[in-house]
Amino acid sequence: MKVGMTTRKISGFMNRSQDVPYDILVVFIVVQLACIAGGLLFPDSFRYLSPANISVQLKAIPVLGVIALGVGILMISGEFDLSVGANYTFTAIVMATMVQDGKSAFIAAPVALLIGIFIGLLNSFVTLRFNIPSFIATLGAMLFWRGMTLFYHGATSLRFRPEQAFSDLMAGAVGPFEAAFLWFLALTVLFWAILHHHKLGNHFFAVGGNKQAANAIGINPDRTKAIAFGIAGFCAALSGILSTARVGSILPGSGLGLELTAIAACVIGGLSLTGGRGTIIGIFLGAVLMYTIQDVLLLARAPGFYLDIFVGVLIVVAAIFNEQVRQRRK
């Protein structure tokens, strides 16, 4: 009887994993239509539809979006990683240093990705082995890797001049589409397939929704969460690589605040802060919405702190809304 109840609980988690975020999609469409209308009515003062602005969006959205995908999968698994911003910076600086020392970017970039995965797995070990909240474990990791960045390189910016083939692959363009955005789309499709059409995805939802119930039917919660931490570390490193290839340099403080912005994008995209609920499409839309808001404020020449105010309010409102939806679906 107990096993039957447990199985029904896991089935519930699997069903919720396939929910389509129609509410987020509606908000996304409304915001985009409003921006398009503003761009058509005021083309000189609100250049939302200008080719330059669209190009900037397609280059900038993946920086947040790729990190948000990793953070989102980890949140669905019931954990947080506040070190992704520091991971983003440290791995990018390691890659840029290797290239500056004469190594090929096609060797340096995989090394950076492996370091990113290692940082994620180290976070999982500390969190799961010593049974401490991931919020605390990764807060310590964030400060540690920020310090390691300064210890390894110092506080100055570092130029990144890879071979042309690498620049074309990571920061080039395919027709009207920026390479970074295509990487973001490819990763979104891959994680969508894993999360919603593979047993590993069901395991992520199960351990995030009810760890004990998942363990009762044979799922290894620690291994599942370790994989999620590794994915978050990989995505942080990949985002750093994409950004560094686009800009051509990396600053030691460039990843500051990315972890909170990524969490905000996930919450706006409909993910539960307690784990066990969310969609890849929601994460994708949340990341695009976050940058759209920033873009609109920049086009409106609003002070930078307006974004912090707006995002702060939006996070709380989205969290309240998501909790009410969760209560109604119980």
pLDDT tens-digit map of 103-136? 999 999 999 999 999 999 999 999 999 999 999 9
> Is residue 273 one of the residues assigned to a domain?
yes
pLDDT computed for residue 15 by the predictor: 44
Calculate mean pLDDT across residues 182-205.
94
Residue 14 falls inside a structural domain: no
Q: Note whether residue 139 is domain-resident.
A: yes
pLDDT attached to residue 209: 86
pLDDT in tens, 80-111: 999 999 999 999 999 999 999 999 999 999 99
Domain enclosing residue 206, as ranges: 23-41+48-151+163-329
**pLDDT confidence bin for 45, thresholds 50/70/90:** confident
Give me the pLDDT at residue 313, please: 83
Q: How confident is residue 328, by pLDDT bands cut at 50, 70 and 90?
A: confident
Within its chain, how far is the Cα of 181 from the centroid?
A: 14
* Single-letter code of the amino acid located at 259: E
The number of beta carbons lying within 10 Å of the beta carbon of residue 61 is 23
322 assigned to some structural domain = yes
What pLDDT was estimated at residue 134?
A: 95
Minimum mean pLDDT among 13-27, 32-46, 220-234, 254-268: which range? 13-27
C-alpha 201: how far from chain center: 17
* Distance from C-alpha of 11 to C-alpha of 19, rounded to nearest angstrom: 13
Least confident of 3-17, 137-151, 178-192, 293-307: 3-17
Per-residue model confidence (pLDDT) at position 19: 55
Q: Does residue 15 form part of some domain?
A: no
Above 70 in pLDDT, residue 288? Answer: yes
Work out the mean pLDDT of the chain and round it to a whole number: 89
User: pLDDT confidence of 3, banded at 50, 70, 90?
Assistant: very low
Count the neighbouring beta carbons within 10 Å of the beta carbon of residue 29.
11
Has residue 9 been placed in a domain?
no
Q: How far is residue 89 CA from its own chain's centroid?
A: 14
Average pLDDT over residues 285-300: 90
How many structural domains comprise the chain?
1
* Interstrand relation of 249-250 and 177-178 (parallel, antiparallel or unpaired): unpaired
Where residue 20 falls among pLDDT bands split at 50, 70, 90? low
* Alpha-carbon gap, residue 91 to 133, rounded angstroms: 25
Q: What percent of the chain has pLDDT over 90?
A: 63
Residue 14 — very low, low, confident or very high, per pLDDT cuts 50/70/90? very low
How far out from the chain centre does Cα 210 lie? 23
Dihedral angle at the C-alpha atoms of 300, 301, 306, 308, nearest 10 degrees?
A: 100
Identify the band that residue 301 occupies on the pLDDT scale cut at 50, 70 and 90: confident
Q: What CATH number did the domain enclosing 243 receive?
A: 1.10.3470
Q: Which range, 36-50, 93-107, 283-297, has the best average confidence (pLDDT)? A: 93-107
Q: Which amino acid is at 186?
A: A
Residue 321 located in a structural domain: yes
Residue 3 lies in a domain: no
pLDDT band for position 158 (50/70/90)?
Answer: very high
Q: In this predicted model, what pLDDT tens digit does every residue of 233-270 receive, in sequence order? A: 999 999 999 999 999 999 998 998 899 899 999 998 98
User: Does the pLDDT value for residue 1 go beyond 60?
Assistant: no
Name the DSSP letter for residue 254.
T
